[in-house]
Structure 1
């Protein structure tokens, strides 16, 4: 009786294996004719019966079907799977694992070769969609495939992918991997100043400031005329409380790229820190000359002028003589009027910029008794701000 049961089980298994292979063949035929939906249905059903036999070819076909889904330009086919590349990749690895006679190596290698651009394109798409963690995983898949034994006869050091993996890791705040890939980029002389600047940036964020500064200066030594490197040095010293060093590097940047308004704006910010306000305004004006839509420079000029008038207003308030006070305060109101155009211009650039609206409201309030129109504008601005709360 036990022997009969065993025979029945074997017969059922053979029958299942035959059905499985039939489904695999059907999936391959559907794939060849471009019917990916039918191919997926057939391979998904056929591969469920793996307990009866380890059938390497089934996984090869599964990989091809799912890779075909990824590569298809038709939305209806693309919707068949959310992660077709990863499913295909795992299927190819399973095919190699089950391969007893070495028949899978050549066809799997051919498919894996095509997966390199597939994963690269996927990584770029995910990066552009701001899915930086997903982009990193896809770039790493490219590097994993390229390092497989099947490609050892023609080894590839894909420096562009290594650098881009660093970028994706940095954007996803995976600083450990960002450091790893930027170090590799530098080791393979790829990325130029950007590799040094970005490595410095992630080292600092990871808490290793000493090494961060080392790479910043090493990058500047190697690429002294690279604006990317200069910007990183400028930012480091501006934020680090050493404005003179930042100014030196800014002068270098301006000499290299005198039409770049952002450098003049940055120097204006430095002059504000050292309380050289006339020089700061001069730099902001130069930035606006180069880029009339430079909102920050326009706003900063307005604020410089407003602060200067406010300081004078405080001095006038200390005048005890009524006649002298009345004469002086008239001049202050004229100066407040002179400030108005700066912030009205800011609102032309950004109509809903709240800080400028609040400053204008205060200015109109100060001037409400000078001209009737200022009281009207005060009420108008107040109404707009109240509507934004």
Structure 2
């Protein structure tokens, strides 16, 4: 009986000693990991590798023992240690560490019913996201944008909504021509006013929607950006251009006029105002706007083409109206001369457009139309030859 009791006592003591030993391994791991973090915090994580390895060895013992193998804390620290080893290891072994960290993370989450390790798991997520960020940057530097996108996107599984990862994944998607994926990332950044590149993101979202053929959303985000950043000329221009493309001239005239007041020397704004007035039938204001653009830049091709064409059409309208009216000869002659005077006033702009770009089909065609009206066969043939040469 005494012998049996002695054996039982020995077993109890031995079991108790093993439990203390395994708990000690967890404590040892935590202490070693804390030492590593002290070194890491001063910017030289590689000096703490020995402490990391000590922590790893202790944790490997802890996860094998029944007393500590089902503790969320054990697996949380095992994940943390392996994640940090992956960051400091530049060899192929890094991927092995990261895989262990990911598996341990899942185990820790499943065991942490009371969320006691939530703070450390949050730190773990940051480390895993950093690993993916580093991997993405490396792929980016190698022009492997597909891999870069995958890494940045995976990083977001650990840090959802992280602005750096959203931005980089969007950039990588753009460079790999996955514009739908880029949009998905950038749209998340639009409401984040604190993001330093917020203005550019809104502009890019508008442009990406336009590339996708979605004019409605392109205008939506251009207007949002213009309202959010009223002093930004690029967003204002995007809003104006898209609304003109969509045929919203009536709606956008006030916006253009307000922007002209802010940027009176911006030739493009005067040109856009000319288009808007022309499309709404206010030809006098359109002509004045085009002329203002040409005061700023006399060689402005599009303004010369539009102004020359507008004046030419004004003369044609008067010419046709006069021919269709039953007028006394003297009045008829007077109106026809007036029409020809309008034609001649268009000539400087028509010629300037061809001078600015001799390969412009529209510029050559408009000038040819003038000489057709003037019945100058030599000029008509010359210009037709130049037009034919373009084809």
SS in 1 for 2:298: coil
* 1:378 maps to which of 373, 377, 380: 380
2:367 to 350, 357, 360: 360
In structure 2, relative to structure 1, the CA distance for the partners of 1:183 and 1:94 (3 Å cut) is farther
After superposition, the Cα gap between the structure-2 partners of 1:328 and 1:227, relative to the gap in structure 1 and judged at 3 Å, is closer
Per the alignment, residue 120 of structure 1 pairs with 140
Whole-Å Cα distance in 1 between the matches of residues 198 and 99 of structure 2? 47
Aligned residues: 270
Determine whether 1:343 maps to 2:363: no
Of 256, 261, 267 in structure 2, the residue corresponding to residue 261 of structure 1 is 267
Is 2:181 the partner of 1:177? Answer: yes
Query: TM-score scaled by structure 2?
Result: 0.56
Deviations 1:73-126 (A, max 9, x none): xxxxxxxxxxxxxxxxxxx76984599999xxxxxxxx9998655533444xxx
2:206–2:217 Cα contact (<8 Å) kept: yes
Q: Which runs of 5+ in 2 are unaligned?
A: 1-90, 102-130
For 1:252 and 1:122, the matched residues in 2 are separated by 46
Query: Which of residues 126, 149, 152 is equivalent to 1:140?
Result: 149
The DSSP-based 3-state class of the residue aligned with 1:317 is: helix
Q: Report the CA distance shift for 1:288/1:242 in structure 2 as closer, same or farther (over 3 A).
A: same
> 1-side partners of 2:173 and 2:253: how far apart?
30
Q: In the alignment, is the contact (CA less than 8 A) between 1:119 and 1:141 conserved in 2?
A: no
Paired position in structure 1 for 2:298: 292
2:264 & 2:140 partners in 1: Cα distance? Answer: 37
Partner of 2:22: none
Q: Does 1:161 align with 2:165?
A: no
Q: Which runs of 5+ in 1 are unaligned?
A: 1-91, 103-110, 124-133, 369-373
Change (3 A) 1:168 1:293: farther
- Say whether residues 1:278 and 2:280 are aligned partners: no
Q: RMSD of aligned C-alpha atoms?
A: 4.1
SS of the aligned residue for 2:265 comes to coil
**Is contact 1:162-1:184 (8 Å) kept?**
no
The match for 1:29 is none
Question: Which is greater in Rg?
Answer: 2
Comparing 320-329 with 290-299, greater Cα deviation is found at 320-329
The answer (yes or no) to whether the contact 1:193–1:219 under 8 Å persists in 2 is yes
How much has 1:383 moved relative to structure 2? 2.8
Once the two structures are superposed, what CA deviation does each residue of 1:269-305 show, in whole Å capped at 9, x if it has no partner?
Answer: 1111111111111111111222333211111110111
1:248 corresponds to 2:254? yes
Return 349-358 or 255-264, whichever deviates more: 255-264
Q: Is the 8 A contact 2:156 2:166 kept in 1?
A: no
